[in-house]
Amino acid sequence: MLVYNGAAHNHPPMELKPVVDHDESSPTIERGQWGSKAEFILSCIGLSVGIGNIWRFPFLAYQNGGGAFLLPYVILMLLVGKPMYFMEVAVGQFTSLGPMSMWRCLPIAKGVGAAMVVVSLIVAVYYNVILAYTVFYMAQSFRSVLPWEDCFEWWGADPETCYVRTNNVERCVSVEGNLVREYMNITNVTNGVLIVANNLTAVVPTDVFTSRYDNCTNATQTASQQFWERYVLNITSGIEDLGVIRWDLTLCLLASWVVVFLCLMKGVKSTGKVVYFTATFPYLVLIILLVKGVTLPGAVEGIKYFIIPEWHRLLEIDIWRKAAEQLFYSLGISWGGIIMFGSYNKFSNPVHRDALFVSTMDFITSIIGGIVIFSVLGNMSTELGIDIKDVAKAGQGLAFVAYPEALSRLVIPQLWSFLFFFMLFLLGLDSEFALLETFLTAFYDEFPRSRRYKIPLTFGICLLCFLVGLPCVTQGGQYVLNLMDTYAGGGAVLFIAICEIVGLMWFYGVNRFCADLKLMLGHDIGWYWKASWLVFSPCILGFLFIYGLVKHKPIMYDDIVAYPTWADGIGWLLAMLSMAQIPIWGVFILLKNWKNPRKAFQPERKWGPGDPVEMQLYHAHNGGVTNLGFQGSDSYRY
């Protein structure tokens, strides 16, 4: 007995066949499914919980009001994140199709799926470069002395500008600020020097003032920073000068792509087994680092910077925009990966529970990651007697400069360093699987016969991405990577998300979509989901996207190096490469149906459950195709 739309339907026993491609023009080729529920959950966690949870979320919170940043993040997760995550994984499961072919429900919106595939492919190119950095640092962790512990000449440290932070080494540019903080509340100084710094004043004893300036250093970069910029990157002055290829990084990049290929070559059958390790082991490392971090002296002070709220900053719209971008970046919404993973599920899987669990795990991991990072930075700040804002860095600077420097101060620093970078590699590897598999699944769904050539196709796309990513491992590669990350994975994803939810909920119809889910899950969908899909998500995303366009500023690297105008133009071209898919495919579908344009807005006859048995029952229950207004029906309605 099956329950469709609340009605029970008895039918004779039928032999259930493997999930197959239901394109009548294609041969029946098995599409594949997850080997178990655990494989699906772990793969989704692997996609959502990535490197950004460790280096991007903690610093965004610290930079944007601490605990106050968490409030808009949680609100947006409840109003937008969880509902859209559920929507994507559910539509993938319902159709057993990837992000392009699932738009059989609304053919004119097929470009939304194409845009997701393009974004995933672009991000896959530069994301693996970051994995190459982690491989490089893992290898360096086997040295008897970590190379970023000191200003070693063998890696090219400049003795004039390089210094090692200790509690008896102070930069001259920081002397006055430090003295003001130390003496601002002391009023009984008689023979002193008046100092003004950061809008604060203090009278400092003359001998202390003289001694501090006599013993300070004019060096400008820490050993870890110079190791990153001079040895790892050997960075040039700007994107105009890419320099030469860094062959050591190229080998690391090649190694990363080899690992990705070996894990992906058999599709979800192989990645489903790999994630048992790659999605769970990072949590073991994270827990080890958490226990170690919170027990260090000064850890509490560091954690305070991460969680203490600045409530007045909630009125800043920019914080809400950054929270939304981080939410999409972290969960992987509108990148196509969630739809792709859902498409390999069994039709009756209780997907709503899975969506809630994975999105909650993603948030919890971000919080744990923040505590891990800032507890160690707090320890470093306390031991050196410097403000934590002087050690906290954004993005890659946090992962490859600040945190390694802090780890180098611990007992057995090689062990902690290796564990940290191995954890980052595994976190990123799972996300890389999803990015590549999104493209491959879309390709297989569009050309089902190609599934028999999975290994050569996977090898070909990995090789192509490796070659395209070579500019990112030149001396100026960081500028290229930053450009791709800013434009390919930022506002473009918000635009795709708006088109996605408007297409599904406004054009295909929220009631029709909920009826499909009721068929699949066996019960009605609550008002919370409908309200978010129909009103909250499109309105919030639309406002934040427009605000981002109005407030757009020319791209900078590390807030210091400005990009030339032509580079900014290339960035916009990268963004348009994905966003333009939506109108291009829309026009193509309209031209294809020029005799009857209405077909572009009607579900195709092939729309429905991926399982052929469920597909037959779906159409039979709906009177053939009439009730849902499929192409060829005279009763089409939204």
Quickly tell me which residue has 């937008």 as its tokens.
Answer: 80
Q: How far apart are CA 395 and CA 409, in angstroms?
A: 21
93 to 33, 90, 226, 342: CA distances (angstroms)? 10, 5, 49, 5
Q: Quick one: how far is CA 24 from the chain centroid?
A: 37
Q: What are phi and psi of 3, to 5 degrees?
A: -110, 115
- Secondary structure class of 558 (helix, strand, coil): coil
Around Cβ 627, how many Cβ atoms within 10 Å?
Answer: 16
Q: Is residue 363 exposed (0-12), middle (13-18) or buried (19+ Cβ within 10 Å)?
A: buried
120 has binding-site annotation: no
Q: What are phi and psi of 192, to 5 degrees?
A: -145, 180
Contacts (Cβ under 8 Å, ≥6 apart) of 384: 165, 166, 167, 391
Chain centroid, CA 566 distance in Å: 27
196 three-class SS: strand
Does 53 count as an annotated binding residue?
yes
Does 64 count as an annotated binding residue?
no
Percentage helix, strand, coil for the chain under 3-state DSSP, each rounded to 5: 65, 5, 30
Please check if 49 is assigned to a binding site: yes
* Short-list 167, 173, 271, 186, CA closest to 217: 173
| Residue 430 known to bind ligand | yes
Chain-centroid distance, C-alpha 39: 20
Instruction: Tell which residue, 556, 421, 555, 575, has the closest CA to residue 490.
Output: 575
For residue 339, which phi and psi values (nearest 5 degrees)? -60, -45
**Does the CA dihedral 123-125-129-132 come out positive or negative?**
positive
Q: How far is residue 224's CA from residue 220's CA, in Å, rounded to a whole number?
A: 12
**Helix (H/G/I), strand (E/B), else coil: 557:** strand
Tell me, what amino acid is at 193?
Answer: V
3-state secondary structure 560-586: CEECCHHHHHHHHHHHHHHHCHHHHHH
Q: Rounded distance, CA 9 to CA 178, Å?
A: 77
What Rg do the C-alpha atoms of the chain give, in angstroms? 27
Is 289 within 8 Å of 419 (Cβ atoms)? yes
How many CB atoms sit inside 10 A of residue 396's CB? Answer: 20
Task: Tell which residue, 364, 478, 434, 481, has the closest CA to residue 57.
Answer: 364
Binding site residue list for Na(+): 46, 49, 53, 330, 427, 430-431
Binding site residue list: 46, 49, 53, 330, 427, 430-431
